[in-house]
Amino acid sequence: MENKPVRITSIEAAPLVGDTPKGGWDAEIKPEDSIHALIAVYTDAGITGHGSVYTDGRLVQAGLRVLEPLFRDENALEPQRVSEKLHQNTFWMGRGGTLTHVISGIDIALWDILGKATGLPVGQLLGGRYRTRVQPYCSLLMAHPAEMHDEVARYRARGFRAFKIGWGPFGRRDDAKLDEAIVRAARQAAGEENRLFVDAGASDAHWPQGLKWAMRTAEMLKAYDVGWFEEPLRPDAIDDFCHLRRVSPVPIAGGEVLTRRQSFLPWLSRGAFDIVQPDVTKVGGISEQRRIAWMADDFGVRYVGHGWNTAVGLAADLQLATALPNVDLVEFIGGSAYLDGITEAPFVLDAEGYLAIPDAPGLGVRLDRAKLARYTPDPSVLFRA
């Protein structure tokens, strides 16, 4: 069999705009804001790979111009080597920032190309398939109790059996009774038999709460059988995270704002998390996410991916979920057009509330040009021959 390189000829980015879902942030994003982008990696073999980046599309386009001399003519069949080359040669231009996010999308697309070139799903290329399906948890913004109950009930009726509620008024009103009422409403709507997780969203601007609030809230969450307490503290408060994990009756989760594997090491080695949640669309891509997940496993820390933001990000998380031994969940943002409305075949839950992990070559999803025309100024940049 001939081992012929497949050369990268160009990489293009398409910002996603027009239906950006709310984030629950203090300075709320608007539907017309771009915080996600898709990229296409083109090759001289006619194979195109797609990736997803968690940042403003304008930053992605600028980042690609900076990276272009490094990726031009590189072998697209060597995703880990090429991505590491990009990381190693740009750390002084913003390691962990825009360029790292952009490299994440490139890396995802390169794995997509390698799968298409070999006829194998990415999960198998990553070492094997431990499972053929995985449970998605429906990620929903918190709301006041009556609305929260109705929202969880709506997605339960759609077949979800695991839910995460986050951000919104929780912890931001200095009202412990309101916080508990929201969680109580969500648990009642979810049912005692289903899984419920809580995300404080303390990476929001000027998060007002501290360690003692987190400790009291963790005790409250225990009564509602909450599976984990996510982002309960500001994302740089590693000492407080370590203490909270030691005393909390519920597992502590976090890590979505960290980038590159090196930044995760002190959090894992010091015991800050029960569950680590790197985001494949900004942490460095599939190559980096896999290394973080295996490192977490060595420390006895559960891994749950955070690439929920687009259908391509979810596809990457699904491939990682099949290739790692102890993954039982992926995040699925409820009601996002960028997840439900940009592929030829949308994701469908089975009768038990699970998602099948695609076994087609590459990531196993196909973007739909006509659908994308609603959400990006020029979808043709993602489909050029």
Same domain, 132 and 117: no
The candidate with the shortest Cα–Cα distance to 122, out of 344, 325, 354, 321, is 321
66 closest CA partner among 33, 37, 106, 38: 106
The fraction of the chain above a pLDDT of 70, given in percent, is 99
Amino acid residing at 147: E
Assign 385 a pLDDT band (cuts: 50, 70, 90).
Answer: low
Q: Note whether 321 and 228 are same-domain residues.
A: yes
pLDDT band for position 108 (cuts 50, 70, 90): very high
Do 314 and 235 reside in the same domain of the chain?
yes
* Residue 333 belongs to domain with CATH number: 3.20.20.120
- The percent of residues above 90 in pLDDT, for the chain, comes to 88
Same domain, 210 and 115: no
Residue 273 near residue 300 (C-beta atoms within 8 A): no
State the CB neighbour count (10 A cutoff) for residue 146: 10
Name the pTM for this structure: 0.96
146 and 208: one domain?
Answer: yes
Calpha distance 362→372 (Å, rounded): 20
Nearest to 20 by CA among 8, 37, 5, 3: 37
| pLDDT for res 309 | 86
Contact 203, 231 (CB under 8 A): yes
**Predicted local confidence at residue 28, as pLDDT:** 74
Residues 108 and 172 in one domain: no
pLDDT at 69 over 70: yes
Q: Is residue 87 part of a domain?
A: yes
Answer whether 179's CB lies under 8 Å from 170's CB: yes
361 is a domain residue = no
| pLDDT given for residue 173 in this prediction | 78
Residue 200 lies in a domain: yes
Q: How distant is the alpha carbon of residue 287 from its chain centre?
A: 14
Q: What is the 3-state secondary structure (H, E, C) of 335-385?
A: CCHHHHCCECCCCCECCCCCEECCCCCECCCCECHHHHCCCCCCHHHHCCC
What does the pLDDT look like over 159-171, one tens digit per residue? 999 999 999 899 9
Tally of CA atoms within 13 A in the half-sphere of 262 that contains its CB: 7
154 and 279 inside one domain? yes
Other C-beta atoms within 10 Å of 214: how many? 25
Average pLDDT, the chain: 94
The b-or-e profile of 353-368 (16+ CB within 10 A means b, else e) is bbbebbeebbbbbebb
Pair 140, 237 in one domain? yes
- What is the domain range of residue 157? 124-356
pLDDT digits (tens, 9 = 90+) for 278-322: 999 999 999 999 999 999 999 999 999 987 789 999 999 999 999
Residue 322 forms part of a structural domain: yes
In tens, the pLDDT along 19-53 reads 887 777 677 788 888 889 999 999 999 999 999 99
Give a yes or no: residue 2 inside a domain.
Answer: no
Structural domain includes residue 185: yes
| Per-residue pLDDT at 72 exceeds 50 | yes
Same domain, 58 and 156: no
- Confidence category of residue 1, pLDDT binned at 50, 70, 90: very low
- Whether residue 118 is found in the same domain as residue 134: no
Locate tokens 């993602």: which residue? 382
Identify the pLDDT of residue 362: 98
Q: What is the pLDDT of residues 218-274, one digit of tens each?
A: 999 999 999 999 999 999 999 999 999 999 999 999 999 999 999 999 999 999 999
CATH of residue 26's domain is: 3.30.390.10
> Do 379 and 369 contact (CB within 8 A), yes or no?
yes
Contact present, 87 and 260 (Cβ < 8 Å) = yes
**Nearest alpha carbon to residue 261 among 294, 300, 309:** 294
In a domain? residue 153: yes
| H and E: helices and strands count for the chain | 13, 12
Q: What is the average per-residue pLDDT within 359-375?
A: 96
In a domain, 106, yes or no: yes
Q: How far apart are CA 372 and CA 344, in angstroms?
A: 10
Domain count, the chain: 2
- Taken in order 157, 161, 167, 169, is the CA torsion positive or negative? positive
Model confidence at 2, in pLDDT bands (50, 70, 90)? low
Check whether residue 189 and residue 139 sit in a common domain: yes
